Structure 1
C-alpha cells in the first residue's frame, strides 16, 4: 500500500487571487519554487473546508483518480502588509499558520460537459466517490474538473462532508443517501457505476481511511465552539467514510435511478 507523505512548504510570494472561487483562493509561490493554489483557513468555511478538501482529494487519489499534489502551507504575517485590497488583507490576517495548497496546473483547461467526453469508469468513479463523501459542488455550473496534459484532474472537494458544519447532529448523516447526486456534472457519462463501486470498495481500505484522517493537522480540528474534541472528530470522519462504504450498493442504486 502506498503511504501518504504530505510535504509542508512555506509561502514566499503571494501572486494573485482567484476571485472566481467563493473562498477566494490564491496562486502563491512556495520555498520549493513551485506554484500552488492556496486554500485559506481564514476563508468563509474555514478549516473545515480544508479538511474536506484534504480527505476528499486523498480518497480520490487512492482510487486512482488524478489529483494535484496536496501540501500543507505555512503562511506568515508579512504578506498582508504589502496587500492594498482590504478584503485580501483580512483573509491573509486570519490565515496565518497552516493552510492547504494544491499544486498549480499551469495551462489547465476547465472541463466542459458539452464537449468533453471521458471514459465511463473514470466518470463513474468520480460520481460514486462524490456520493460517498457527500460532495454537493460538482455540477454543470461548477464542475471542479480540469484537463491538463490531456488527462482529467479532480480539484476542489471542499464542499464535501457537510455534516461537519454541525457536530451536534453529525450521526444523523451516517445512514443518509445523497439525493443531490442527480445534479452531478458527470452523471450521464457514468455508465459503469457498479464496477466503480466495487473498485472503490476494494481500494479504500480501513487502513487507508485511518491513514488519511491521521494526517489532518491537529490545529485544523480544534475549535472552541464545537462539541467534539480533535480525537472525536477524527473518529467521526473514519466512521462516516466506513459507513458510507458499507452502503455503497445503496448509493450506486440511487445514482443509477437518478441517471
Structure 2
C-alpha cells in the first residue's frame, strides 16, 4: 500500500490546476500537494495519478513520492475561500498527496534542454497511458535539482471514463505532435524496445495493488478486485500493441 499520512493544516490553494489542488502539511512533518477526491474529476483522477505515477517510477522516470492523505474537513474552517471550504467538506477521508518539491521550477523547453533518450522515454510513457496533459501550454513537468520530474497524471487513462468502449481504446493512436518534448524525442524506437518489455502483468499487478479500494469502487465496479482485473486487462493489451499507438519517429 501507499504510505498513509494525515493532513493537519491546509496551507494554500494552487490556482494553476483545474481541480484546485492545495498545499497541506501532514503529521509526518511533510508538505504535500493534495489532490482531492471531492474535486470535479472525482476519484478516477486519483486512480490515474497512482497508476501512472507509480508505473512511471518503476520505469525509472522521476515522480514525487505519493501518499494516501487522510483529510478531516475541519482543517478548512479557517480558509476564507468558500470554494476551498466546500472542496474540503466534500473530500473527507482518503485523498492523494504528492510530495511538495520546494524551489522546483516549471519546465521551460528553451531554458531546460532535455536529453533525446529521456524525452523519448517520457513521450513513450505518455503515449501508453494516453496522457493528454503534457503540452507546451501546460507541460506538467518540474525541474528540481537539475532533474526532470513528472507531475499531474489525473487526465491520463481516459478510457476508464467509458468502460463499455474501453476495448476499442486499446489500439487508439496517440497524437504526439502537441507533446512538449516531441521536438526532442528522436529515439522513440529505442525507448519502445527498452520500456515495453518491462511493463509486464506482474509489474502492473504490483502497481494496481497500491490504489485504495474505495477509489476503485466509487463509480463502475462492485469490488476492487474486479476493477483491478479490468485495468490489468486493458493496460496489458495496450502495451502488447505499441505499433498501433506509438508516434512514428520524431513526433514533431
The two structures have a TM-score, normalised by structure 2, of 0.95
d(CA) in 1 for partners of 2:73 and 2:13?
17
CA RMSD of aligned residues (A): 1.5
d(CA) in 1 for partners of 2:46 and 2:20?
13
d(CA) in 2 for partners of 1:94 and 1:199?
42
Indicate conservation of the 8 Å contact 1:182/1:255, yes or no.
no
The aligned residue for residue 122 of structure 1 is 118
d(CA) in 1 for partners of 2:222 and 2:131?
22
| Correspondence 1:67-78 to 2 at 5 A | 67-78=63-74
The aligned residue for residue 193 of structure 1 is 188
The aligned residue for residue 109 of structure 2 is 113
2:202 is the counterpart of 1:217: no
The aligned residue for residue 87 of structure 1 is 83
d(CA) in 1 for partners of 2:248 and 2:18?
27
2:225 is the counterpart of 1:231: yes
The two structures have a TM-score, normalised by structure 1, of 0.93
| Correspondence 1:24-39 to 2 at 5 A | 24-39=20-35
d(CA) in 1 for partners of 2:183 and 2:14?
30
| Correspondence 1:1-259 to 2 at 5 A | 6-179=2-175, 181-223=176-218, 226=220, 229-252=223-246, 254-256=247-249, 258-259=251-252
1:240 deviates by 1.7
For structure 1, which segment, 78-87 or 142-151, has the greater mean C-alpha deviation from structure 2 after superposition? 78-87
Indicate conservation of the 8 Å contact 2:67/2:96, yes or no.
yes
Equivalences, count: 252
C-alpha change, 1:132 and 1:233, in structure 2 (3 Å) is same
C-alpha change, 1:228 and 1:138, in structure 2 (3 Å) is farther
1:78 deviates by 1.1
- Cα deviation code 1:39-70 (max 9, x no counterpart): 00011101000111111111111111111001
Indicate conservation of the 8 Å contact 1:13/1:28, yes or no.
yes
Specify the SS of the correspondent of 1:49. Answer: helix
For structure 2, the residue ranges without an aligned partner over 5 or more in a row are: none
Indicate conservation of the 8 Å contact 1:167/1:228, yes or no.
no
Indicate conservation of the 8 Å contact 1:167/1:227, yes or no.
no
Indicate conservation of the 8 Å contact 1:62/1:204, yes or no.
no
d(CA) in 2 for partners of 1:188 and 1:90?
42
Indicate conservation of the 8 Å contact 2:221/2:227, yes or no.
no
For structure 1, which segment, 43-52 or 5-14, has the greater mean C-alpha deviation from structure 2 after superposition? 5-14
Specify the SS of the correspondent of 1:73. Answer: strand
For structure 1, the residue ranges without an aligned partner over 5 or more in a row are: none
Indicate conservation of the 8 Å contact 1:83/1:89, yes or no.
yes
1:6 deviates by 1.9
